[in-house]
Chain A
Amino acid sequence: MLYLNLFLQGLAQGSIYALIAVGLTLVYGLLRILHVAHAGLFALGAYISVTVTNATGSFPLAVLAAVAITGLAGMAIYRLLYEPILDRPPFVALIASIGLFIAMEEAFRLAFGPYGLSYAVPPNMETITFGGLFLSRAQILLMVVAALLLGGLGLLTERTRTGVAWRATVTDPPMAQSFGIDIVRVRYLSFFIGSALAAVAGVMISLINNLVEPTMGSVPSYKALAIIVLGGLGSVKGTLVAALALGVIEAFGTIYLGNLLDRDAIAFAFLILVLMLRPHGLFGAR
């Protein structure tokens, strides 16, 4: 039972990673940029959710606002920051992105205070127990939402023309362009959807912890980078598997390796181990 429970806890954490990492993968596939500031958008989504809920009393409205504003913010980052430096060496965009992320964290701290915010009316987070398993309502909601959104996204890219064109572009932008796909539009779309998914992850975390903090994006941001590397950089499917796998590995790792390494270090130890054995990631082709 302990194992099954650890596994479920791991999956819940993995779902958060997955929602964040998909956007990173899309950006990497399209632009070959490691979009560190993406985790800033995750935090932005969470902040909007809490502040709008507290101001209006309507959680659905807050979610809508979080998704829309964060999505637009993602598009703005592409337009204002990345687009002008696309032809520079890759580290230029990476460092710019790190800079933006640090500035965003600081902006949250200055605007909302260093101690974080909570919902005025705490969301219902009671833990459900059945047959020795326990998960909070928010965790269950998170897994359902993640499965629906990512599953829906998967269907969209498998079944619709736009989706297929999109996938083709993420896999091989120059090829897609030669087929007449408007890759600039695909980029905007990807930044919007990727950022919106990060916002959803932020909202979910805000429910689970009933707390949003300026630095809440730090750990997910770096870990999501590790995940997209494990997933083979640019492969959405690989990213999802890697995200869930990492969630589970961390859950077990903290039990068995907890006195040697902390949770974040376990993730990166796993990453480095995998990279040494398979330099192109778990699911990466050459």
Chain B
Amino acid sequence: MAYEITLLTIIGINLILALSLNLITGFCGQISLGHAAFYGTGAYCAAILTKAGLPFPPALLAGGVVAGLLGLIVGLTSLRVREDFLAITTMGVGFLFLGFVRKQSWLGGELGVSGIPAPGLSDLGYMVLAIGIAAAVALFSLYVRRSWMGFAFDAVADDEDTARVIGIGVAGYKLTAFALGTALAGIAGGLYAHYARIIVPDTFGFTLSVTILAMVVVGGIGSTWGVIVATVLLSLMPELFRFVNDYKLLLFGGLLLLTMRFSPGGLAGLTRETWHRLRRNQGRNREQVDDGTAARS
């Protein structure tokens, strides 16, 4: 039972992390290769605060706020540079975070922070907390998608210039996406820190950034349900198939590669296509009539 609780806690944290990146990359179309830095910021911030005596809940929130502020700053760079540059800039932020943390003795340097206080919940309670927050983030994502914010995000992700012409303040939306997404990543970080009770810089490296991106990409960029399914699968994979463990990264890289090469829409795109194909087979005749009218007029 303890094992399942651990696994579910990790899945919960990963879900928050993947859905938070999906807000930025999936909804608003801003690629980020440095998401682990915000996760790390939240983790370090919350850990240091609880070690200083602050109760767990406000420390967790503070981690989110600080990560969100940092995200806001990084979001400002997205206003300056175009897409390709943004990918590399965010990647740079990741390395910058790591390089900075490693050299700070007050953050424990290479050894990180240990002896992080227990959050005062049972393992089961903590699992419920992690899954609960993940569920809230998932509901929030689904809501955003339906709201006018999601509508405007679609436009920004699709074509910034045209979005501006119809009165959408592109900068404001990008900053909102970055601030929201990174703040949620910060909360995931705080949860992780108080679950692991020890954090080291290397946890928050480029590999993690790519792992989070993989969850989003394999699930289907922008699809909340796709991201949820992919996150659960990718989190479980090494656990369910122990023999895979040695080949974990190979499989992982291969999965990214194959998804992009053969189904850039991810699981969600694949499902949608299959669904459409099924429907087309059912209503082939009617579709043909519809196509005919559209082409003629």
Contact = CB atoms under 8 A, between A and B. Distances in A.
Q: Do chains A and B touch in the complex (CB under 8 A)?
A: yes
Interface of A: 28, 32, 34, 81, 84-85, 88-96, 98-107, 110, 218, 222, 225-226, 229, 233, 258-269, 271-272, 275-276, 279
Interface residues of B, number: 42
Interface stretch (B54-62, B82-90, B132-140): B82-90
Given A107-B250, A233-B84, A275-B89, A261 B99 contact: yes
A105 B254 CA distance: 11
Nearest to B252: A102
Nearest to B82: A279
Nearest to B80: A279
B253 A264 contact: no
Contact of B83 (A91, A95, A229, A258): A91
Contacts of A261: 96, 99-100, 103
A226 B34 CA distance: 14
Contact of B254 (A95, A99, A275): A99
Contacts of A105: 249, 253
B261 A95 contact: no
A265 B96 CA distance: 4
B253 A81 contact: no
A34 B88 contact: yes
B92 interface: yes
B255 interface: yes
Given A85-B261, A92-B260, A102-B207, 10 more contacts: A88-B264, A91-B87, A92-B264, A95-B260, A105-B249, A110-B246, A222-B95, A229-B84, A229-B85, A268-B93
B85 A268 contact: no
B72 interface: no
B8 to A, nearest CB: 27
9 contacts: A96-B256, A106-B250, A110-B250, A225-B91, A261-B103, A264-B98, A265-B98, A268-B99, A275-B80
B103 A90 contact: no
Contact of B102 (A96, A262, A272): A262
Contacts of A229: 84-85, 88
A84 B283 CA distance: 31
Nearest to B260: A96
Interface in B185-218: 206-207, 210, 213-214, 217
A265 B253 contact: no
A262 B103 contact: yes
A54 B43 CA distance: 47
Interface of B: 31, 77, 80-85, 87-89, 91-93, 95-96, 98-100, 102-103, 206-207, 210, 213-214, 217, 246-247, 249-250, 252-261, 264
A222 B206 contact: yes
Contacts of A264: 95, 98-99
Q: Which 5 A-B pairs have the closest CB atoms?
A: A265-B99, A99-B256, A102-B253, A103-B253, A268-B92
A138 B57 CA distance: 56
A93 B77 contact: no
A259 B255 contact: no
Nearest to A260: B103
A103 B57 CA distance: 40
A93 B260 CA distance: 7
Contact of B96 (A100, A104, A268, A275): A268
B230 to A, nearest CB: 13
B253 A101 contact: yes
Contacts of B260: 85, 88, 92-93, 95-96, 99
A102 B256 contact: yes
A96 B261 contact: yes
A1 to B, nearest CB: 28
Contact of A90 (B83, B250, B261): B83
A102 B249 contact: yes
A90 B264 CA distance: 11
Contacts of B247: 106, 110
A98 B103 contact: no
Contact of A276 (B80, B214, B250): B80
A220 B91 CA distance: 13
A261 B100 CA distance: 5
Nearest to A32: B84
A258 B102 CA distance: 11
A102 B210 contact: yes
